[in-house]
Chains A and B, each alone.
Chain A
Amino acid sequence: MENAIAWIFIFPLFGSVACAILGISNRKICYPIAVLSMAGSLWAGIETLRQVLSANDHTVSYLFGGWTLDAYPRGVGIEFHADILGILITLVVLGVGFLVSLYSKLPVEEETPGKEPLFYTLFLLQVTGLAGICLTGDAFNLYVLIEVAALTGYGLIAIGSNRAAAATFNYLILGTIGASLYLLGVGYIYIKTGTLNMVGIHDIIVAQGLADSATMQVAFVLVGVGILIKMAFFPFHAWLPNAYCNAPTTTSSLLAPLVTKVMIYVMIRMVLSVFGVEFSFESTLWTDVLPWLVVVAIVCAAVMALAQREIKRMLSYLIVAEVGYMVGGVWIYNYYGLIGSIFHVISDACMTLCLFLGAGLILRKAKTTHFDGLRGLFTKMPLTMTGFFIGGFSIIGLPPTCGFFSKWYLITGGMVSQRWEYMIVLMFSTMVMVVLFFRMIERIHLAVSESGENLGHGHGDLGLTDQQTRFDEGPLSMLIPLLLASAVVLVVGIYNQEVVSLIEIFLSDFNLPRGEGIE
Chain B
Amino acid sequence: MFEDGTIINELLIERLNYLIYVVLLLIGLHAMIAKKNLIKKLIGMSIFQTAIILFYVSIGVKEGSTIPVYLPEHDPHGSHSVPSDTNETSHFEHGPVILDSSLVKGYANPLPHVLMLTAIVVGVATLGLALALCQRIYQGYGTIEEDELLAKMESREIRAKALSVQIPKDQKLPKKDELKKSKSRPVSKSKTQSVSKPKSKGKK
> Which residues of A approach B to under 8 Å, CB–CB?
66, 71, 76, 111, 140, 143-144, 147, 151, 154-155, 158, 160-166, 168-169, 172-173, 176-177, 180, 183-184, 187, 190-191, 196, 367-368, 370, 449, 453-458, 463
Contact = CB atoms under 8 A, between A and B. Distances in A.
B83 to A, nearest CB: 23
Interface string B92-127: 000110100000000000011001001100100110
Interface in B50-78: 52, 55-56, 59
A368 B55 CA distance: 50
26 contacts: A71-B98, A111-B169, A140-B115, A158-B136, A162-B170, A163-B153, A163-B169, A165-B133, A166-B140, A168-B133, A169-B130, A169-B133, A173-B32, A176-B45, A176-B48, A177-B29, A180-B52, A187-B52, A187-B56, A187-B59, A187-B112, A190-B112, A454-B192, A458-B202, A458-B203, A463-B192
Nearest to B189: A449
B151 interface: no
A182 to B, nearest CB: 10
Grouping DSSP codes into helix (H, G, I), strand (E, B) and loop, the A interface class, with mixed when no group exceeds half, is helix
Given A172-B133, A190-B111, A370-B166, 17 more contacts: A76-B96, A147-B125, A151-B122, A155-B129, A160-B169, A162-B136, A162-B139, A162-B170, A166-B149, A166-B153, A173-B45, A180-B49, A196-B115, A453-B195, A454-B195, A457-B193, A463-B192
A184 B52 contact: yes
Nearest to A452: B195
Size band of the interface chain B makes with A: 35 or more
A15 B69 CA distance: 37
A458 B196 CA distance: 12
Contact of B38 (A161, A169, A455): A169
Nearest to A173: B32
Grouping DSSP codes into helix (H, G, I), strand (E, B) and loop, the B interface class, with mixed when no group exceeds half, is helix
A169 B55 contact: no
Interface of B: 29, 32, 38, 41, 45, 48-49, 52, 55-56, 59, 95-96, 98, 111-112, 115, 118-119, 122, 125-126, 129-130, 133-134, 136-137, 139-141, 149, 153, 166, 169-170, 189, 191-195, 202-203
A162 B192 CA distance: 39
B122 A144 contact: yes
A367 B194 CA distance: 29
A368 B166 contact: yes
Contacts of B202: 458
A169 B134 contact: yes
Contact of A177 (B32, B133, B169): B32
Contact of A161 (B41, B98, B169): B169
Contact of A147 (B98, B126, B170): B126
Contacts of B118: 140, 144
A172 B140 CA distance: 18
